[in-house]
């Protein structure tokens, strides 16, 4: 089942460019873990990137393994690249030459991209099954397991407000790391964005106890430092019929960290929910719904003003309105009209 990936690795090496959410980080770690267990020497020579959304439009992929980074995300495909994705369903592996798919393998499962990697290498990987389930639930925001919600909270606070103790939390992982280009690369990532480097290392090394300890410690820090802010944001939310929305200060790290929990609560109680992040340069908007009958990608088709950007999938879309052209009042008017069109 892993033949496409292994052939690509032996030809192009292990150069991974991944989406930077929980799913992308674990998918990257699971893939590296599988290759390390299989003693694929190219893994140790590999490198990993977790580019920010605004960086994608300046990037080209050539000979890379791409985790959830379709070309419509802004990344330009050159030469041969291998995409692992679960949007749109079903999950798939796609081999590209330039922008053209030349081989597609689809899997009759419903899972996150981390779950897809685990499924492909299921006879090799030693990942605890509950950890795979947790990542799935975080990606789909279906928190049947309380531990899944704790994972989501641990990741977002570690990403947005890194603890000074993160290196200490992952000290057992760092003690196992060998002298190889891959781990030098991951250490460099950790110096800039700690959780991306440390967590990817821990997963690739199979240091599961450390990962569970990190979840517990950081979820507790979230409870202490972020829950009060989340409660304030939730109380500020506006609700009208099937629509709810909340406005937050993107530059306030506590609000930016708390907003996902608030947004999840609004999605649970409304047909369509929206959050608007006010930044120095514009307005970051996310619109989402748990209603499977709605296709939110239609929203992008309704936008005729090219100064606004829109992209996403059936259950969630993201929009950006630069404040050189739009005010908050404009954004509220436009987005409410868009949501009413979707609901009509």
**pLDDT bucket at 53, cuts 50 / 70 / 90:** confident
**DSSP 8-state code for residue 75:** P
Tokens (6 digits) for 250: 């993107």
Burial 241-260 (b: 16+ CB within 10 A, else e): eebbbbbbebeeebbbbbbb
**pLDDT bucket at 268, cuts 50 / 70 / 90:** very high
Q: pLDDT value at position 145?
A: 87
Measured distance CA(7)–CA(12) in Å, rounded: 9
Q: What is the reported pTM?
A: 0.95
pLDDT at 302 over 70: yes
Length, in residues, of the chain: 344
The pLDDT of 41-50, averaged and rounded, is 97
CA distances from 229 to 49, 149, 191, 207 (A): 31, 17, 28, 32
**DSSP 8-state code for residue 315:** T
User: Taking Cα atoms as reference points, which of 54, 51, 118 lies closest to residue 84?
Assistant: 118
**DSSP 8-state code for residue 110:** -
Residue bearing the bigger pLDDT, 27 or 312:
27
The pLDDT of 316-324, averaged and rounded, is 96
Structure confidence by residue, pLDDT tens digits, 174-230: 999 999 999 999 999 999 999 999 999 999 999 999 999 999 999 999 999 999 999
Any idea which residue has 């499977």 for tokens? 292
Tokens (6 digits) for 84: 């692992």
The pLDDT of 298-315, averaged and rounded, is 92
The pLDDT of 103-129, averaged and rounded, is 96
Q: pLDDT value at position 201?
A: 98
**DSSP 8-state code for residue 102:** E
Task: Kindly report the backbone phi and psi dihedral angles of residue 285, in degrees, each rounded to the nearest multiple of 5, phi listed first.
Answer: -120, 135
The pLDDT of 52-81, averaged and rounded, is 93
User: Taking Cα atoms as reference points, which of 67, 62, 168 lies closest to residue 115?
Assistant: 67
Helix pair angle (22-37, 129-140), 10° resolution: 150
**pLDDT bucket at 1, cuts 50 / 70 / 90:** low
Burial 96-115 (b: 16+ CB within 10 A, else e): beeeeeeeeeebeeebbbbb
User: Taking Cα atoms as reference points, which of 286, 288, 277 lies closest to residue 328?
Assistant: 277
The chain-wide mean pLDDT, for the chain, equals 96
Tokens (6 digits) for 316: 């969630």
pLDDT above 70: percentage of residues in the chain = 100
pLDDT at 72 over 90: no
Q: pLDDT value at position 54?
A: 83
DSSP conformation letters of 26-73: HHHHHHHHHHHHTT-GGGGG-EEE---HHHHTT-EESS-EEES--GGG
């Amino acid at each position: 089942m892993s033949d496409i990936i292994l052939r690509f690795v032996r030809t192009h090496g292990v150069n991974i460019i991944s989406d930077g959410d929980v799913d992308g980080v674990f998918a990257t770690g699971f893939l590296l873990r599988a290759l390390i267990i299989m003693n694929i020497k190219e893994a140790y020579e590999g490198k990993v990137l977790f580019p920010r959304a605004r960086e994608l439009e300046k990037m080209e992929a050539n000979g890379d393994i791409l985790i959830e980074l379709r070309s419509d995300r802004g990344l330009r495909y050159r030469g041969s690249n291998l995409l692992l994705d679960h949007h749109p369903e079903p999950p798939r592996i796609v081999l590209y030459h330039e922008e053209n798919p030349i081989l597609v393998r689809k899997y009759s499962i419903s899972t996150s991209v981390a779950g897809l990697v685990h499924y492909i290498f299921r006879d090799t990987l030693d990942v605890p099954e509950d950890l795979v389930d947790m990542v799935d639930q975080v990606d789909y925001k279906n928190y049947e397991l309380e531990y899944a919600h704790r994972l989501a909270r641990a990741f977002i606070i570690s990403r947005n407000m890194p603890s000074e103790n993160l290196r200490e939390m992952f000290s057992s992982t760092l003690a196992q790391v060998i002298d190889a280009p891959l781990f030098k690369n991951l250490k460099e990532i950790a110096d800039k964005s700690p959780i991306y480097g440390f967590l990817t290392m821990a997963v690739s090394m199979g240091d599961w106890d450390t990962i569970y300890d990190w979840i517990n410690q950081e979820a507790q820090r979230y409870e202490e430092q972020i829950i009060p802010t989340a409660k304030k944001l939730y109380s500020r939310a506006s609700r009208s019929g099937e629509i709810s929305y909340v406005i937050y200060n993107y530059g306030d790290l506590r609000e930016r960290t708390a907003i996902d929990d608030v947004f999840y609560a609004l999605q649970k109680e409304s047909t369509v929910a929206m959050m608007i992040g006010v930044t120095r340069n514009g307005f970051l908007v996310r619109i989402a719904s748990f209603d499977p009958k709605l296709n939110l990608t239609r929203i992008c088709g309704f936008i005729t003003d090219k100064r606004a950007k829109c992209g996403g999938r059936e259950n969630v879309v993201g929009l950006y309105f630069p404040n050189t052209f739009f005010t908050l009042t404009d954004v509220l008017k436009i987005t409410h009209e868009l949501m009413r069109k979707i609901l009509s």
